[in-house]
Structures are given as structure tokens and as C-alpha cells.
Structure 1
Amino acid sequence: MTNIDNLEKQPQVFVSYAIADREAARAIVRGLRSHNLNVWLDDNQLYPRSNWAESMRSAVSASAYFLLLVSKHLVNSHWVSKETEDVLKELQNRDITFLPILLEDCDIPPSLATYQCFDMRSGIEDNLEKLANALRFTAEIDFEKLSPQTFEQLVTDLLQKLGFINLQSESQQSDSGIDAIVEFRHKDPFGAENREVYAVETKFYRDSRADLRTLQQLIGYVKKNPKIDKALLVTNGNLTSVALDWVSDAPKSTGIPIRVVDGTELKRLLLHNTELVSKYFATSLGHA
């Protein structure tokens, strides 16, 4: 099989960037292509006054991954922060994995603050192989090959990797309708430690999606437990459109913050934890 045949079989990676970062973008594209990845570079985008969200709809429709190069140039483009939210919503609707690539130290826009960046601040060449391997690994992820129990264990392992502390597992909460209660600790700007407790529900679907009832039940549990601060739903699929709208309004309407990690975001998180990809998808990756 030729390299061209291999490229055609690879999922498409779309690279987006500020115009001042064009050379960095081209270097990343050359490097990823040298690792036999199918990369599409938009050489005509992110000009001032352009409607980014509108132009991206057709350009990314065939892509599995959307890479955004984050730099001072991008951050200082005031119009980007307005367009970014529309683009992220479009990517979610199309089940396209979004991955911000951090090129240098800069203030991350609020619209990107919840996303873990792939760090290339030490240099593009030094990190290309790691990025290529991460994209290649996650391209093999197929949640439907897992059993519900295995998917739940994958989520547990990932939460631990992200720094959560498992306080109570499913066996301890057998009558609650949730899978775990976890704790996350972080420091505020003044050095004081903050503690947040989450009620976690893991939902594995084959032919359906997480609906409004699932979310309302999770919120209901949190309301009855004053020691729990937030709700977290992790699913291999996507939310229904009604559920998506409800999640956006939930903090105001219910007083309970809720975080949803759907299948697309779950893949993005696994980009940073490829050892879990090897562990749970070893067969499809061709490992023993």
C-alpha cells in the first residue's frame, strides 16, 4: 500500500491558525504529514473581519479533528473570542474532536479556558511525534467495542489521571443512581486550597443519547446532598438537542453547576492520556 493510500485511510485533521502564525502552522502540517497523517491546512482563513464560523462549516465537515493554534496573535484578535463559541458549538454538533495547540505563553481566552491544550511551547519539532502519535491513537478509539462495565472503568481511570480523588465508588452508592462521588482540589490565586465535590454518573449508549431525564435525575441527587457541589455526566455519545439547551441554562435554573463530557470531548481528553487508549483499545491498535 502506498503512502497516498495510507493518507486516504487516515481521518482528516484540520489545522486552524491566526494569519501571523502561518509559518508555525505549515511546520506542524509538514511534520504531521511526514507521519502519514491526512492534514488539511486552510491558507485563507482567520483574516480580520472574516466570518470564521460561517467559513468553517464547509471546511471542517470532512474532518475528525480540529486543531487550533493558540498564541498571542490569536488571543489579541478580538473578533476570535466572539467567533470561537460558534465554532466550538458547530464542532460538537458534528462530532469533531477539538484540540487547542499552545504555541507560546499567553492569556487563554475564556471560551477556551475549559479545554486542556496540547503544549508545544518547548518547540514544534520537539513535540511533533508526540502529537502525531496522540492523533493516531485516538483515531482508533471505538467506544462501542467496550462493555458498559469496561467503559465505566475507563472513565474512573481517566478521572484519576485528571486529578480527581475517588471518595465513594458505585458499590458504596448502590441505591443512589450515581456511579461515584469524587473530589477535586485546586488552589486559588492567593494560594488557598479549594475543594469541590462532584456526583458522577457514567452513561454508556449504543443506539441512543443522553436525554433530559438523565440530567434531571443527576441534578436531583445533588440537590438532596448538601455536601456535593457539582454534577458530572460522562457519556460515550452526544446529548440530545433538548438536553444541550438545558445544560446551558442549568446553573441558573437549578442552582447546580453541571459538567457534561460527551464522546467527542472524551476522545479529546484521551489525546492527553494515550496510555489509557493502549489499555482499553489494545485490540484495535494491534497490540497484544
Structure 2
Amino acid sequence: MSYNHNDSSIAHRISDSLQRENIDVVFDYKDISVGENVFDQIRYMYETSETVIVLLSQSLFTSDYFRYEFPKYFFDEARKRKVNIIPILVEKCQIPSDFLEYEIINLTNDFEKGLQRIVQKLKIIPEISFDRFSPMEFEEFTYDLLKAYGFKNIQREQRVNDFGVDFIAESYTKDVFGFPNKEVWMIETKFYREERFSINSLHRIIESFNYINRIDAKILLITNSVLTSVAEEFIEETQRNRNIEIKVLDGAKLKKVVSKRKRLLNKYFLR
């Protein structure tokens, strides 16, 4: 658990509550050696933990130490190492953008309800594993995931000659004025036993996108694996140079979105 010393009382309150749920928490850094680089040791503790809880407050963000403790590459390393980050709002304040990709648990309105949500996340996420899936089961799980998150008109196996994608689906949002906005998604699933997601798979997806010629579509890639840095750079370059929007749900993000849908949890993971 990371927090500013001004928030120590609520940090202890949260820690005591989690300990009563048999959840081990390290939050006072007593074992850090004096004379060594403190921030290197803290980062090592973060990177070797299953979960990092960060208490968000004005005191934390205005601290001189904040940029040393949470540099930009911390979030990149957390994604690569599959470290689960749980930001907890303990004081109303402006939140830096790096934390906004995570589900933020708000304790400022209802502390007990927020605490229950923390316990739920800490106990459920380790139960979410794709190890028992086959490629076909992963594709079926993806179909249910799309339905659970409101995708409409889901069509399976869109194929032209040797090119194809697993699903084409629609999602509906509202623009800033409240008018409906339809988005078309070409959705590809990639299931891996051991290896990480490859750049070759991305090339094939882009080729299929070009061949099927749905210029109005966006690409959604869903995989249980972790993207390599080369794959991430390829996606960024493709979006920038070819004006194709690509969203990725890799293994770490996939666990987080699944944890928010009870039916998916019960059907696929809590059996």
C-alpha cells in the first residue's frame, strides 16, 4: 500500500480491515535498508507484489516524492509484470491521468461500501485464470464478454477468402450533446498457452481489416497474453500513421473487466 504520511490514519484503518479478511498488507516499509536508494527499493517492492494499493489524495499528488515513486515507466512495468493496481480515493482531488485507466474505488462517500469493494477485488482477481481454457472456450467467453458489456448485433466469423475476423459487433454511446453514436468494431481473439502476443498476429489483423474494407470500423483485440513492447509500438505507429483505432484488452486488463461482471465470474471462473 502506498500513501502519503498525512493519510496514515486512514491507511492503518484500511490495512487493519484487510488483515481481518486474511489479506496480507505491506504498508510501512520498515524493511527498507537505510543508506540504500529508497525509491529503487520501493519500486522493487511494487514490481514483486501481486497488487499495489495507492491512496489518492491531494497530499500525495503535491508531495515532492510523488514523481519519484510513480514515474511514467512504473505503469508500463506494472502492465508488463501483470501487477494489479487498485487506486483508492481518500480525498476529493484532481487525479493524474495515469491512474484513470484503472477502476478507482471511492471511499469519500461511503467508506464501508468502498472497503467491501476493495476486499472483493483482492479476493476475486487471483481466481480469474485462463489456464483451463481451450481456444474455442476462449472465443465463447469473448462472445459472452461482448454481450455483458453491451455490444449489439454480434456476428461471428466474418471471413472473405483467406481473410477474416472472429466477430463484428456494434456499440452505442452518446456524444457530448446526448445524441446516440454507433461504433462498428472488428474483434479478434488470440489465445496463447505460453508465448506472448506476436507482431505477426497484428500484421494479419491489419491485413484482414484492409481486405474486408470496413473503413468505418475500429479494431478490438482481446487476448489472454501480454503484448510485447514491439507490439505496443506497432499499434501506436499504426494508429498514428494509418488512422486506424485499435483497442487492446490483454490479460491484465481482461481480468479487471471480468471482475466487474458477476455472471462472467460465476460461469467461467468461480466454478
TM bucket normalised to smaller: 0.7 to 0.9
Aligned-pair CA distance for 1:133 = 2.4
Q: Percent same amino acid among aligned pairs? A: 32
Equivalent residues in 2 for 1:80-91, closer than 5 Å: 80=66, 83-91=70-78
SS at match of 2:50: strand
Task: Quote the Cα distance in structure 2 between the aligned partners of 1:193 and 1:84.
Answer: 38
Q: Using the alignment, how far apart are the partners of 1:81 and 1:196 within structure 2? A: 37
Q: Deviations over 1:232-263 (max 9, x none)?
A: 11111111232122223332133212121111
Q: CA deviation at 1:73?
A: 3.8
Selected match of 1:24 from 10, 14, 39: 10
Residue 168 of structure 2 corresponds to residue 178 of structure 1: no
Structure 2 distance, partners of 1:162, 1:81, is: 35
Which residue does the alignment assign to 1:96?
Answer: 83
Equivalent residues, number: 260
SS of corresponding position for 1:185? strand
8 Å CA contact 2:152–2:171 kept in 1: the answer is no
**Inter-partner Cα distance in structure 2 for 1:162 and 1:56:** 36
* Counterpart Cα distance in 2 of 1:52 and 1:255: 43
CA RMSD of aligned residues (A): 2.8
> Which residue matches 1:225?
214
| Partner SS state of residue 178, structure 1 | strand
Amino acid at match of 1:269: V
Task: Label 1:253 to 1:80 Cα distance change in 2 as closer, same or farther (>3 A).
Answer: farther
Of 33, 45, 54, which aligns to 1:68? 54
Task: Name the aligned partner's letter for residue 146 of structure 1.
Answer: F
1:183–1:196 contact (8 Å) kept in structure 2: yes
SS at match of 1:248: helix
What code does the residue aligned with 1:39 have? V
Kept in 1, the 8 Å contact 2:121–2:259? The answer is yes
Please say if residues 47 and 77 of structure 2, whose CA atoms lie closer than 8 Å, have aligned partners that are also in contact. Answer: no
Could you tell me how far 1:84 is from its partner in structure 2?
A: 4.8
Distance 1:233 1:250 in 2: 14
Structure 2 distance, partners of 1:191, 1:243, is: 36
Moved over 6 A (4+): none
The TM-score normalised by the length of structure 1 is 0.77
Q: Which residue identity lines up with residue 175 of structure 2 in the other structure?
A: D
State the partner residue of 2:115. Answer: 128
Matches of 1:96 and 1:116 in 2, distance apart?
Answer: 14
Query: Using a 3 Å threshold, how does the CA distance of structure 1 residues 197 and 111 change in structure 2: closer, same or farther?
Result: farther
| TM-score, with length taken from structure 2 | 0.82
Residue type of the alignment partner of 1:226: I
Check conservation: 1:118, 1:272, Cα contact below 8 A.
no
Given that 2:127 and 2:270 are in contact with CA atoms closer than 8 Å, whether structure 1 keeps it comes out as: no
Larger radius of gyration: 2
Gapped regions of structure 2 (runs ≥ 5): 31-36
State the distance in 2 between where 1:21 and 1:188 align: 38
Residue by residue, what CA displacement relative to the aligned partner does 1:179-202 show, whole Å, maximum 9, x if unpaired? 212333333333343333221111
1:239 equivalent among 197, 222, 227: 227
Residues 4-38 of structure 1: per-residue CA shift (max 9 Å, x gap): xxxxxxxxxxx223443332222222111111112
Matching residue's letter, 1:151: F
Unmatched runs of 5 consecutive residues or more in structure 1: 1-14, 45-50, 284-288
- Report deviation, 1:157: 2.6
Query: 2: distance between equivalents of 1:145 and 1:209?
Result: 17
Q: Deviations over 1:75-126 (max 9, x none)?
A: 5569857945321101112121222223354433222333332343433223
Asked whether the 8 Å contact 1:166–1:180 carries over to 2, the reply is no
2: CA distance between counterparts of 1:159 and 1:169? 11
Q: Is the 8 A contact 2:88 2:106 kept in 1?
A: yes
CA distance in 2, matches of 1:77, 1:161: 40
Describe how 1:161-200 pairs up with structure 2 within 5 A: 161-163=148-150, 165-171=151-157, 173-175=158-160, 176-200=163-187
1:8 alignment counterpart? none
